Amino acid sequence: MIIVNDKQLKTLIVKKRTYIKDACTKNLYIEAKDSLKGTIIFFYFRYRLNKKIQSIKIGKYPTTTLSSAREKANIFNDMLAQKIDPKEQIQDKGVKKSKTVKEIFHEWSQVFYKNNTSYNLSKRLETHIISKYEDKHINELAKNDILLVLDKLYVEGKLETIKRVFLGLKKMLMYAINKEYIENSNILTLDMKALYGSPKKQNLRAITKEERFKELLLAIENYNGSIFTKVALQISPYLFLRSTNIRNLEWSEIDFKNLKIIIPANKMKGGEDFIIPLSESVIKLFEFIKPFSFHNSKYVFPSDISKSKTMSENTLNQAIKRLGFGDEMVFHGFRTTASTLLYEFKNLHGQDSEVIELCLDHRERNNVKATYNRSLRLNDRKLLMQWWSDYVDNLKGII
């Protein structure tokens, strides 16, 4: 059998693997095999060189058309006429151009690490995709590779994670295309909404009543799990930082001498350094946990599994659940708790709304109003953070 035109390929039926010669192009062969989905067709360029048969896969039909396969085969035939081995030419080009998924990720990350949102996107991508396919060349990363990961997340009910992972992946692939590491990627055609639906928006659970907040604080004092989990839970009511900032807090970011934390811009949602004044109560907690992680981890609250990694948000949420507050509170909810009560007690601490919002890292980002919010009003924030620390201590019975 000889293939002459595209119509023959569309209607081709075979019972077993069959190799068919193209009628128009020298050395071009069509491999056809039967499957449950119908006939699967690949184009191959087969040639003899140095008394050996060599084979180059050109592509799969219909993604690669018959005409484009013929064009590619003619290019290879021209190389042979010039005594150039097309296979060696392809391999040399591949070595120079093709990069692994891990290499592309690290290159893209250096450009993309501009704020905390992008940091979270890239961390999710690294956890779920990069770690599994890091040695694969970027041009070999296929739809099915991604679907294997996302389908598992779907079964686990992690729709928001699916959304974030794919968003990060799309950004990385677009970077690879713009840098001409790949021409395109059919992964970009995946439709998350069609495949998995939309994640339901949920309000984060948070305790906002003083008496119940007091009960939670006292329960945390009696927590008997991991020391890192306990101290992270103890410190968070004082600092009410975003979950990721607490979990990724590094010892190098704590200034014990000047009683403050400075979180660098690349880890903050707003893309600016964030300064947090520290009370004596918070310093004592840091001093307590220091011997447990300072000498074997850069993180204040490392994972119990590996000191080179941070603890997960789920670890902290599970701890709150074990304390009996899971239906009312999540770890990130300490921000809502602090915000609600600070506004409720404005007449007691005497600070205005701007100071409260600055303590929450809710800053004006436009150039006119910012002027760094009058030098970030650090003195006022220091007073408010001390008032709040005393308030928390009082609820716990320390004062």
Contact 166/150 with Cβ under 8 angstroms?
yes
Amino acid at 257: K
DSSP secondary structure letter of residue 85: -
User: What CATH class has 210-396?
Assistant: mainly alpha
- Tell me where in the chain the CATH 3.30.160.390 domain(s) lie: 2-96
**What pLDDT score was predicted for residue 202?**
59
- Tell me where in the chain the CATH 1.10.150 domain(s) lie: 101-196
**What pLDDT score was predicted for residue 317?**
93
101-196 folds as DNA polymerase; domain 1 (1.10.150)
* β-bridge mates for residue 131, sequence order: none
Q: Does the pTM exceed 0.75? A: no
Contact 74/23 with Cβ under 8 angstroms?
no
Pairing of strands 2-3, 254-255: unpaired
Contact 15/34 with Cβ under 8 angstroms?
yes
Q: CA–CA separation, 234 vs 238, rounded Å?
A: 8
**What pLDDT score was predicted for residue 278?**
96
- CATH homologous superfamily for 2-96? Integrase, DNA-binding domain (3.30.160.390)
Listed in sequence order, the DSSP H helices in the chain are 6-10, 66-81, 86-97, 101-112, 116-125, 131-133, 143-155, 159-178, 192-196, 210-221, 227-239, 243-247, 280-293, 313-322, 334-344, 346-349, 353-359, 367-375, 378-396
- Tell me where in the chain the CATH 1.10.443.10 domain(s) lie: 210-396
Distances (CA, A) of 9 to 34, 55, 58, 219: 13, 21, 16, 71
**What pLDDT score was predicted for residue 95?**
43
Distances (CA, A) of 19 to 56, 127, 160, 166, 255: 14, 42, 46, 39, 71
**What pLDDT score was predicted for residue 190?**
92
**What string of pLDDT tens digits covers the 399 residues of the chain?**
666 677 777 778 777 888 888 888 899 998 888 877 778 888 999 998 888 888 888 888 887 888 888 888 898 998 888 888 888 777 655 444 568 899 999 999 888 765 445 566 788 899 999 999 988 888 888 888 899 899 888 888 888 889 999 999 999 999 988 887 887 888 999 999 888 887 765 567 899 999 999 999 999 999 999 999 999 999 999 999 988 899 999 999 999 999 999 999 888 876 788 999 999 999 999 999 999 999 999 999 999 888 888 898 889 999 999 999 999 999 989 999 999 999 999 999 999 988 999 999 886 544 434 444 445 789 999 999 999 999 999 999 875
CA atoms within 13 A on the CB side of 136: 12
Structure tokens at 364: 């004006």
Residue with tokens 């200034």: 255
